[in-house]
Amino acid sequence: MAAARGTRSTLAPVAVWALTRTALLLCVFKVVTVPGPDVTSDVSAIYHGWSEVLRSGTYPLHDITWQYPPVAALAVLSPGLLPFLDYTSAFFVLVLLCDALVLGLLRHAARRGRSAGVWVWVAGVPLLGTTSYARYDLMVAAVAVAALLAGVRRPRVMGALAGFGAMLKVWPLLLLVGTPRGRVTRRSWTAAVVTSVALLVACLVSAPGALAFLGFQRDRGTEVESLGALVFHVARQFGWQGRVELNYGSIEFLGPYVPLVSGIALGLSVLAFGWLLMWRLLARTFTPGTPADAAFTAVLLFTTTSRVISPQYMLWLVALAAVALVSRHSRMGLPAGLVLIATGVTQLEFPLGFVHVVTSDATGVTLLFVRNGLLVAACLIAARRLWRQTLPALGAAGGRAGTADEGTEPAHDRAKTDGHAKTDDRTGTGGRTGTGGRTEAAGRAEPDERDAGPLRRSAGRADTPASAP
């Protein structure tokens, strides 16, 4: 009976995945028509056009909509792997395969972790709707998930995949922000740099225009769905003399004070980077879930403060939230839930209600306030939880903060949680106290940390495959 229940619980995510992905395919193949703009035109027109240019031996030098790192050419050219299908159909099939790969990786990790992360992925992709399959971001998310799940057990693999992902769409470089100090960080960061540089050199040698994207990306303004755009959506109600136009490949606000708001958004991103740098320098307690939690928090911060929040960006957050929640040590349950809700609201504003967003009517403004408000709340909660989890001793008497290399100490020398010591039947380290006989319980843990257990890792391994971002 128990075995039957276990089999059903294991197969349930697969069944739901199959049903929801069938629905997505029906939509992108236009068997079912979705209201709003045709999101598949990016594949059939823009991506297909880029592929023709790339096959001629050059990057799209004079196309301002080409705003991606040079290895993105592989994603654009990938439909050529299925020559028996037309370009658009082949692209959708490849995205489906990447989607299935992520599901498989998460299910494998969940055998030693939690199934919550699997369900986040199963639900998150259809919540975004057809946009999920009509952009190459899901391919990038698959690389990021593979990197995170390689984790501290395979730091070089993790770093190489993060470096490869960074050359696809930059943000996967943030996957390494939470790696434990010491050998894991050295190996993963070195592998990322070597991989990125090697790929960049190869692209520069193989075709002209590999760095053209930098100028096009720099000149982007305030996109109508971004956090900063809310200023102009409200200002339009009071006679602001600006306009909405297609600019640098997205619908942006143009007019008075737009450069100022864009500059403030850039400033917020700089502040986010500063906070992450400070956290990295001060963090001492690295649990197996810290790398994934840190990666999720970092990408969430930069996505929310960006001048552009394109709908497909939500896939990045869904993927990282899924990996985080596979780990039993993660504390990102609430922010991950907020991201899922925000993903559903994103589909309501694009493509379903995009006309309301562009015209800044009550419906459009409300949708954006809700979606962006959820992202801001998720940022604040995720950052607070990451800080409290990794710096539990800063508020304790004497300001004890652990050793600088605590993330890589042998497990038998350290068996504490953020809130209390706990017996581990495998190591016999239950109820350990510090050298002075004091239990190391500085920084009270929240209820969702009670099953965190003792830290069990060394520089080259972790106790779950989901222990990384």
- Of 165, 169, 185, 187, the C-alpha closest to 177 is 185
* 413 pLDDT above the threshold of 80: no
Average pLDDT of the residues in 104-124: 96
How far, in Å, are 188, 213, 214, 341, 363 from residue 218 at the CA level? Answer: 29, 9, 6, 31, 31
**Which pLDDT score, from 0 to 100, does residue 209 have?**
87
Average pLDDT of the residues in 392-403: 45
Share of the chain above pLDDT 90, in %: 74
**Which pLDDT score, from 0 to 100, does residue 357 have?**
97
Which amino acid, one-letter code, is at 247?
A: N
* 444 pLDDT above the threshold of 70: no
**Which pLDDT score, from 0 to 100, does residue 459 have?**
34
* 463 pLDDT above the threshold of 60: no
Residue 170 · residue 316 · CB < 8 Å: no
Average pLDDT of the residues in 52-67: 90
* 426 pLDDT above the threshold of 60: no
**Which pLDDT score, from 0 to 100, does residue 8 have?**
60
**Which pLDDT score, from 0 to 100, does residue 10 have?**
77
Cα Rg of the chain (Å, integer): 23
* 443 pLDDT above the threshold of 80: no
**Which pLDDT score, from 0 to 100, does residue 213 have?**
78
**Which pLDDT score, from 0 to 100, does residue 63 have?**
85
Average pLDDT of the residues in 286-312: 96
**Which pLDDT score, from 0 to 100, does residue 212 have?**
79
Average pLDDT of the residues in 322-345: 97
pTM: 0.83
Average pLDDT of the residues in 330-356: 97
**Which pLDDT score, from 0 to 100, does residue 397 have?**
35
pLDDT tens profile 64-109? 888 899 999 999 999 999 999 999 999 999 999 999 999 999 999 9
Phi, psi (5° rounding) for residue 251?
Answer: -85, 115
pLDDT tens profile 357-379? 999 999 999 999 999 999 999 99
